[in-house]
Structure 1
Amino acid sequence: MIKNENQEHSFYIYKSYTEDINKKKLRTKNILLEEEEISNGLNHILDNEGDIVYAEKIKNGKKDENILFKKEFKKKKTKDSYQSRMMENCYPVTTYHYVDNYLVWKINGEPDQWVFAGSTLTGISVSQLCESYWLPDLNIGGGGNSGGYYTNPGNSPAYQDCQSNSNKNYQGRYVEEDNPCKYVITVNPIECGEGYEYDSILGECVEEIVVVSPDDPIENLEKFLGCLDKTKGATVTIYAKQPNPNKPSTPATLENGVGHAFITISQGEHRLSYGFYPEKGIGYFNATAGIMDRNENYPYHVSVTKTISSSTLSNLIKVSLDYDTAEYELQAQNCTNFAISASRIIGLNITESVCIGNYGVGKGATPGKFGAYLKIMNLPTGATRNKAGGISPSNKECLK
């Protein structure tokens, strides 16, 4: 029983389904809130609405911290994360601030004794306190005993140790005849489709993030490219960083790596490396706003370099600005599509069809396939190729 500041009472029901490792018969009505040395199972407190407000796993009479933190939440944010859930409960906490007053008795001018004279209330503050608690595993396998605690949807008992019968001493567990196990979970686990994952906070399936947002986005690409003289030529390098340079057909996924394709424009003292990214993380299906990101000092596996004319430079700047305001779509308009467009402008004979690869869910131009083609394609006069890989040069920008 808890009494709040308004002198209102909240009542809670305590249930503990225990297992007697000494083969003794125990009933939950005899289990106190204190830890039992011989008990294994779950300890729960439920509110008067039947909702769990606290739960903990008990092993040999003590909280099983190893299970709680190392096992139950290791696979958090995966498609089966609904099996191991951490719920958060927040509530206001009022703090009263006092100043204590003392009288001092002195002997020969020196303090000899302090006597408490009372306290003065100086203020009241309210803060928000949040606690996290563990909820038990749900049954997603339709039966069996894996050693955990589970529930079946509907009117089945809530946990493995409960039985839907009137045997009040079934294997040492106390089961109420009229209401088996007192509490029944009726939430069905959510199965997410391919390319989606379950978000335990939102309580719904969301797209898996395949390409993350950029580290150093270029907020104003026109100013970034503004110092390039369109009346003069320049040198352009096209790069490909492959997820697996030895296996370019490996599906480009977040787990395997997606790679990247980008370019560098060099003219006089200026050197600008950049590539196309989603402004925010993106999944397999939906488009999002695109943006250019700096790619200086960026690793790559293969590159092709070519000198271009002033008119070609103007066209390259234009297509860069067009992409910067376009949407990013993984399977149709991504970093590789931009690099292919730039390659064709500077005179490389590359089509998107030769760069189509597998994204795990769906297909599109991939850095892996693009890089593989850069390594074997016939180069135009004046172009050079680097198949050894390396790191892109540092930028010397117009804005700096």
Structure 2
Amino acid sequence: MLSDLTPLRVSLKEREILSQLEQLSARSGSHSPSLGTMQQLIPEINVDIDSCYLSNPLATDLFWSHFNADVLADPQLFKRMLEAYPSQNREIAERLSTALGIDANHLFIANGATEAIQAVIHNYSSHIHISIPTFSPYYEFAGPHTQVTKFQLDPAKNFAVDPEEYVESVLRSKADTAVLISPNNPDGYLIPDADLEWILSQLSSLRTMIVDESFVHFADRPTAPGGLPTLTGITQQFENVTVVKSMSKDFGIAGIRAGYAIMQPERVDQLLAHGYLWNTSGLAEYFFSLFDRSAFLTEYRQELFRYRRFIDNFTTATARFDFVRAFDTSANFQLMQIHADVSAEVVTALLLLRHGIYVRNCSDKIGLDGEFLRVAIRTEPENAKVLDALADILS
């Protein structure tokens, strides 16, 4: 039993629930169990703070305020949203293109970023080269005939991508597709702009180069006045680059499944010709419609600026911890390495049972050797409770 593998004191009742959590985690594969599933199967668990799933809670509140005023206040509109088909993919792309500064014919609207990842890998890749640790769908979605090779990131170097070593690794692998996430999940490393541009220039011969910018809104990097943070100023120079973007993290709306990819128009045409016509819901279409409103985007930028201060305050506090190694991050989460004698899975469970705090055990991540937690950064009051709980269990 996992509770026998840690020097932490664990009660008999906690051991029983630990066993149930272990079974549930095994059923969930490489992803954490959802809150609904966990609380349904283990009623003793009460989650007060979700620091596992990655989102900006201030943006969730912003979306909710608009949704309440626009939709819930008009029952007939809500009914039509549920009853009618949403607009087609191209029409939603037209609506989104102005806010993104991207021609609509380059936009593939997706039912969450994972759908875009799956579409690109299944249609435009036979051999994919990934950096590890990474977001698991990039290798999980590879079919039985798709080869996967790996480039190991070094925690001693804060998981930094060495441009020359990376390019050499990709070319040596003879992959036709490579993936870079910046900032990366689960470590939060942001590739400097000059490094990213050089890497893409050296790999322009690949069939597909995927750049995942799902966490870029949280990074400290230049943004055009009135615009949204993006890497497209770099990526659009290279025809083989596909940019993947989740909307769940920065806008806090994972439940409605919204994302997109930016790619060459002929690829968008091919994907839409073979499906994906009505692949978003009415709720997702409503969310995309908010991008037509300059007032909403102004409010969002204000909330993002405020949330970034929360991230800075959280990482300043963890830098003082002597019982974990907290890695530098440019995202809205922080990867922490704990002592090798302590099971990260047990710590995750004890945070849940004793404090009602749900964090991500990352020790099962390919490319991580040791015991790791990933902690999503929330509101200031929630963050204070998370920091106290970590200290209570680990210090």
More strand per residue: 1 or 2?
A: 1
TM-score after normalising by structure 1: 0.19
Higher CA-based Rg = 1
Structure with the bigger percentage of helix:
2
- Greater RCO (Cα-Cα under 8 Å, separation 6 or more): 2
